[in-house]
Chain A
Amino acid sequence: MPEIRVTPLGAGQDVGRSCILVSISGKNVMLDCGMHMGYNDDRRFPDFSYITQSGRLTDFLDCVIISHFHLDHCGALPYFSEMVGYDGPIYMTHPTQAICPILLEDYRKIAVDKKGEANFFTSQMIKDCMKKVVAVHLHQTVQVDDELEIKAYYAGHVLGAAMFQIKVGSESVVYTGDYNMTPDRHLGAAWIDKCRPNLLITESTYATTIRDSKRCRERDFLKKVHETVERGGKVLIPVFALGRAQELCILLETFWERMNLKVPIYFSTGLTEKANHYYKLFITWTNQKIRKTFVQRNMFEFKHIKAFDRTFADNPGPMVVFATPGMLHAGQSLQIFRKWAGNEKNMVIMPGYCVQGTVGHKILSGQRKLEMEGRQVLEVKMQVEYMSFSAHADAKGIMQLVGQAEPESVLLVHGEAKKMEFLRQKIEQEFRVSCYMPANGETVTLPTSPSIPVGISLGLLKREMVQGLLPEAKKPRLLHGTLIMKDSSFRLVSSEQALKELGLAEHQLRFTCRVHLQDTRKEQETALRVYSHLKSTLKDHCVQHLPDGSVTVESILIQAAAHSEDPGTKVLLVSWTYQDEELGSFLTALLKNGLPQAPS
């Protein structure tokens, strides 16, 4: 029995690290290979031993697909390919291929910086891993091998993010990765064609949320930043180097320009230039507005945002600083935070999620006295704000995508169980398809109907067309013929041709049936009554009364005979060929209801 099997190793009812295993027609594909930022040991990576058990990864997997460059989707790649030992191909889009190693390198540096971890992947491993990557273009059908093909669709979310269709024969799965159904300041909205996959695996981060308008959040953000610098305070915005940072930079840059503000904005670690470079390089991946204005003015060449130098943190007066890393867990952002935390005029804005243990997590959960190294207690007096700018589809967007792709079933990942449950019911009700939400390690098996290609003879097709029924793509059609299975191929031909090809003589199959009628008249008269009744009922058919007294309707023959025991009953002998089975059954049923009373 052909089937599709899906096992999340991560992102099954959680948002920690995406890693989903899909088996489709005997091909095994791994979707994303994410890392969990909340762990400091090997648990940060998916547990690959669950898939391999007694075999090698490279033998088991046909390919790995990475949806976008966020570390919870690609962070385990170097570990997976260089330490666990996967040697096969890894597919991702061109921007993801370019940016992914930068973020991996960035993360490696933070991890090693913080803990001096020896058992972490090295720069060389990141490079060796990237050598296994095959970059793909949007809408390009990539043949992984003779049977397996993949195709990328635009997903919004971050630069280069893609949804992937995985197809073997007529079976297909679509994996959305993270996506956004509304365009933002620098990216467009996700789009997929009506590809009718057997299964759509979709993220469900905002499964129950209808997000307020982006405008409101942006206004709120700008207001807070503006108020703080107006009263002479400093604003710290911890970010990861690439992604949301660019969105916020564009936002502030435009606002500064409009309000003619002079307060300095800084971006740490020299990544602005790098980001700028990539956004220029992949301008086709940004939204229409940016592409249009690109010729006159590149949105990523900032006038107000300057490179940050460590000594600037001690400068008096207001300023806005974007600093990495994004969770205040090491490096520059933490150092600046420690300097500024004691002043209530200052503000820190966390634009994203923080894992447990990080200073970011602590201040967001309301803790204001933080124990730092050396038993020092840091009292946080500065204002702490959380503003989500992550670009995920909300409940409405998810429903919209399901409607767009028209899948046979849906599977939810990358979300929380309770919220998924709500969305699952909604999808099942609205689209009448089954919806699954497996936990990590749990396997969902979907039976699929085997698809067998059948060739149709030209003669048969022509005959169909003569009947005025032109074939229409995508609409199922009923076609009668003879199925010939020969040399492991299937052909549908007309029965005449089948007989000819196989050298067989035609036999006719007739069905017979007896119908008892209450009628005291003679057989001939009964037959005549049957004839008139049928003549008036079956206006579209050729009804004949033959000289020998029998009645025919097409191939159906009706003869009346006397009952051997009961003279008041006549027996109608009805016989018909297999071809007229439908009409024969109808006639029998009609006659069983009796004949109308004679007008006399």
Chain B
Amino acid sequence: MDPECSRLLPALCAVLADPRQLVADDTCLEKLLDWFKTVMETESSLQLLQDHPCLMELLSHVLKPQDMSPRVLSFALRLVGIFAAQEDCFQYLQGDPSLFVASAASQLLVHILALAMQGGASGSPTREAAAWPVCAQKIVNHVEESLHSKATPQVTQALNVLTTTFGRCHSPWTRVLWERLSPSVACLFERDPIPAVHSLMDLLLSVARSPVLNFSACGLWEMLAQTLNRLSPTQAGPLALGTLKLQHCPQELRTRAFSVLLQPLACILKATTQAPGPPGLLDGAADSLLTVDTLLSSKSTCVGLLCQTLAHLEELQMLPQCPSPWPQVPLLGAAVTILRLCDGSADPSSSVGGRLCGTLGGCVRVQRAALDFLGTLSQGMGPLELVLEVFAVLLKTLESPESSPMVLKKAFQATLRWLQNSHKTPSCSDLSADALLFLGELFPILQKRLCSPCWEVRDSALEFLTHLIRHWGGQADFREALRSSEVPAFAHQLLQDPESYVRASAVGAAGQLSTRGLQAAPTSPENPQAQQGLLMDLMHILSTDSEGFPRRAVLRVFTEWLRDGHADVVQDTEWFVATVLQAVSRDLDWEVRVQGLELAQVFLIQAMGQPSLRCPYTVGLPEATSPSPHPEFLQTLCRLPLFEFAFCALLDCDRPVAQKACDLLLFLRDKTSSCSGTQEVGDNPSSASVEAVLQRWREGEQGQLLGDLDPEAMLAILRSLDLEGLQDKLAKSSDHVEKSPQSLLQDMLATVGILEENEADCY
């Protein structure tokens, strides 16, 4: 701890210990804890406590039952946790109604239990709990008593302490702990209703993940299996997923858990399929826990259970622990069926199916979850008929006037995933014939969606279009399908959309279309204006749009065009760069300015080559000198004026701009180092502060105004700047001084007793 902080600490402790003093705000206390943690990384906590008796005084004072504010109490507890000392006050603290204090208390208990066992467990690790250190015994007794309590909050607390313990401590003593407490835990399952179900499940999973327990011996698997049977389908879902995620778990239990997750979808299939239909889910399973009647007992139960199930299966499919074989076909069937039930296109063959239709019809929640799941299922594909059904249901959703903006967005995402995966057939990389047929139907719908009155829909449609072009813009069939639609023209029109988000997406889409030569008016040799028109449109957006998003989007497109050698840019690159920089230098959005510098850098790299790598191991080796740039190019830089732009950006009030400018100028200096310069600014090259140099130039000391620089003067300024120094300064966050511990302690002390009015204020 530095001396200044040591000096300030006693006064601060006194303030904290005094319940009459208002502590500035709890962020200060949080930051104070952060600081103690950092200090403890390098100093021993015992030493710290000895050197600063004020800390011990504060802790022992605060932990006495008195009128102490919960925030200071919670702070003190966590500080104690950090110091891993003092265990007198658990009982008192465990009863605190505030979750945050209680959570701090249970963290502390676990710390202490672990510490006590670590210190005392030198003997046989499996020795009787009765021989454990007194302090550990006390904690275990307390936990055991709490488990038998009739009050659910107390049971929850105890379970949470245990969950944390088994999650954190993997020493052999935890086995003894589980042996001792598992009967009490098992008792909880006999109660009706089961108390603290979520915490109980967390505990079982935490124990199951522990590497030191021998599960078959301690009956954990049985307990898990019983729990899965005992809980309601909604409650059992998370436990089933957790079980399937376990590394080591008997196959039988995994099968059981998986069937819990599949049950609701199996129910749906059973209720909607006319016998004899395609194979369902869990056809052979004898003990169906869930009947359709339970599923349909109430709308909210049904909706909740389906959403949860779909989300769990979606998560599961992406995990390495995903069950194999994965019932792809019936799951796909179920997802399609659910979407049909939601959009009303299902043909309810049975009365139960009819009821399902009524429950799920127009249910956006289920629709969203099913579309997400359907998207994930695209990884596994399926038989052709089913894939066609998927495309059909997606088209229906995209077309339906009932679909909400969120549903449409999800439908677009799912569609993209199915398109991407449908061409992954071994034979060709082109879009499949079915996908092309699908696109033929899709484009008119997309066209309609681009004119939607909801900006959300227009925007999602544009994003979707941009992705499509990025993927398939080079393929002849796709190009033809797109060209024969009016989609490009509609996308172009959205450059004038009243909503800035949409304008930005339209810029992206138009940029992509142009890159691929797919713009609205087909460019023929006779009609180059259309193309040139887009460049001018984008320039216009860059210099006049009132919102940052479209301007940023334009720069992204421009940078990409410059990088890829887009025909319009290549035509007159110098004019292009100059015009862009001129617009950017006036921009109020610093991200636009950063992107302007990025574009400038691309321009420089194209002319001067990649930046040389500064590898620390090559020190001493003769550096491969890059050929010195053509003098004419340096003239160009002055004329653009790229140099002036970068130079002014060095002093930008927004740090990332200055940082980027600094990098750019370093690159430039590096590349021009071989150019001989006769003119020097100041006596010591590479030493002048940027501010001073700019000041001198402004004052016309060199008889030249910025902007009228010649290459000689430019190189001279470049060499005179301490760019490395500036780079170091900028690399630090702009508030590193404000974030220092001294600043924190000073602020806390400065606030005591004053500004009561300000404190109550807010935004």
Q: Are A116 and B733 in contact (CB under 8 A)?
A: yes
Contact A390 B746 (CB under 8 A): no
Contact B760 A419 (CB under 8 A): yes
Bound state CA distance, A374 and B689, in angstroms? 13
Interface-side segment among B176-184, B675-683, B748-756: B748-756
Complex Cα distance, B31 from A121, in Å, reads: 22
Q: Which residue of B lies closest to A7 (CB)?
A: B99
Tell me what chain A mostly uses at the interface: helix, strand, loop, or mixed: loop
A386 lies within 8 A of chain B by Cβ: yes
Question: Among B339-347, B522-530, B650-658, which stretch is in contact with chain A?
Answer: B650-658
Q: For chain B, which range describes its interface: under 10, 10 to 19, 20 to 34, or 35 or more residues?
A: 35 or more
Contact yes or no, B25 A362, CB < 8 A: no
C-alpha spacing A59/B306, complex, angstroms: 10
Using A58-B311, A131-B459, A274-B546 as known contacts, say yes or no to A356 and B747 having CB atoms under 8 A apart. yes
Report yes or no: A87 in contact with B368, Cβ–Cβ below 8 A: yes
> In the complex the two chains form, is A331's CB within 8 Å of B747's CB?
no
Which residues of chain B come closer than 8 Å to A390, judged between CB atoms? 761-763
- Given A54-B201, A367-B750, A356–B590 Cβ distance below 8 Å? no
A116 touches B656 (CB 8 A): yes
B191 close to chain A: CB less than 8 A: no
Residue A416 at the B interface, CB < 8 A? yes
Bound CA span A109–B304, Å? 38
* Smallest beta-carbon distance B629→chain A, Å: 31
Please give, as numbers and ranges, the residues of chain B lying within 8 Å of A38 by CB-CB distance: 25, 27-28
User: Does any Cβ of A come within 8 Å of B738's Cβ?
Assistant: yes
Q: Which residues of B contact A7 (CB under 8 A)?
A: 99
Which residues from B are CB-within-8-Å of A39? 27, 30-31
Q: B209: shortest Cβ distance to chain A, in Å?
A: 14
B150 at the interface (CB under 8 A from A): no
Q: Which residues of A contact B760 (CB under 8 A)?
A: 15, 205-206, 209, 415-416, 419
Cβ of B739 and Cβ of A442 under 8 Å apart? no
Interchain CB contact under 8 A, B732 and A441? no
- For A114, the chain B residues whose CB sits under 8 A away are 655, 733-735
Would you call B583 an interface residue if the criterion is a C-beta within 8 Å of the partner chain's C-beta atoms? no
- Residue interface mask A102-125, B partner, CB < 8 A = 1: 000100010011111000000100
A358 within 8 A of partner (CB): yes
Q: Give chain B's interface secondary structure class.
A: helix
Nearest Cβ on chain B to A178's Cβ, whole angstroms:
8
Chain B residues with CB under 8 Å of A310's CB are: 653
Q: Is B727 interfacial (CB 8 A cutoff)?
A: no
Query: How many angstroms from the CA of A439 to the CA of B100 in the assembled complex?
Result: 9
Interface string of A357-377 (1 = CB under 8 A from B): 111011011110001111000
When the two chains form their complex, are residues B763 and A352 in contact, meaning their CB atoms are under 8 A apart? yes
Q: Is A16 an interface residue (CB 8 A)?
A: yes
One digit per residue, 1 when the CB lies within 8 angstroms of any chain A CB and 0 when it does not, for chain B 529-555 equals: 000000000000000001011001000
B761 touches A358 (CB 8 A): no
- Residues from chain A with a CB closer than 8 A to the CB of B307 are 58-59
Residues of A within 8 A of B588 (CB): 269-270
Interface residues on A, range: 35 or more
Contact pattern, B 354-371, Cβ under 8 Å of A = 1, otherwise 0: 000000000001001100
Within 8 A of B (CB), among A224-274: 240, 243, 269-270, 273-274
Which chain B positions have C-beta within 8 A of A273? 546
Given contacts A127-B501, A390-B763, contact A109 B590 (CB under 8 A): yes
| B591, CB-defined interface residue at 8 Å | yes
Is the pair A439, B70 in contact by a Cβ cutoff of 8 Å?
A: yes
Question: CB < 8 Å: which of A26, A113, A358, A414 contacts B590?
Answer: A113
CB pair A131 B456 closer than 8 Å:
yes
Contact with A along B212-243 (1 / 0, CB 8 A): 00000000000000000000000000100010
Q: Is B255 an interface residue (CB 8 A)?
A: no
Query: Quick one: given A59-B311, A353-B761, A373-B732, are A113 and B30 in contact (CB under 8 Å)?
Result: no
| Contact residues in B for A331 (Cβ distance below 8 Å) | 653-654
Interface flag for B382 (CB, 8 Å)? no
A27 nearest CB across to chain B (Å): 8
Tell me whether A14 and B655 are in contact in the complex, defined as CB-CB below 8 angstroms, given that A416-B759, A416-B760 are known contacts.
no
A330 at interface by CB-CB < 8 Å: yes
A71 neighbours in B (Cβ, 8 Å): 763
What is the minimal beta-carbon distance from B135 to any residue of chain A, in angstroms? 27
Q: Is A56 an interface residue (CB 8 A)?
A: yes
A443 within 8 A of B: yes
Question: Judging by beta carbons under 8 Å apart, are A54 and B653 in contact?
Answer: no
Interface assignment of A186: CB less than 8 Å from any CB of chain B: no
A143 to chain B, nearest CB (A): 12
B620 in contact (CB, < 8 A): no
Chain B residues 713-751 with CB under 8 Å of chain A are 729, 732-739, 743-744, 746-748, 750-751
Besides the known contacts A419-B760, A439-B98, 9 further A-B residue pairs in the complex with CB atoms under 8 A apart? A15-B761, A59-B307, A89-B406, A109-B590, A115-B734, A205-B762, A366-B750, A372-B737, A441-B101
- A-B contact list, 22 entries, CB within 8 Å: A14-B71, A15-B760, A40-B739, A54-B242, A113-B656, A115-B735, A130-B456, A270-B588, A310-B653, A329-B738, A332-B653, A353-B759, A356-B24, A356-B28, A356-B747, A357-B735, A365-B751, A371-B737, A373-B734, A418-B22, A439-B98, A443-B99
Which 10 pairs from chain A and chain B are nearest by CB? A441-B99, A38-B27, A365-B750, A441-B100, A335-B653, A353-B761, A115-B733, A442-B98, A131-B456, A357-B738
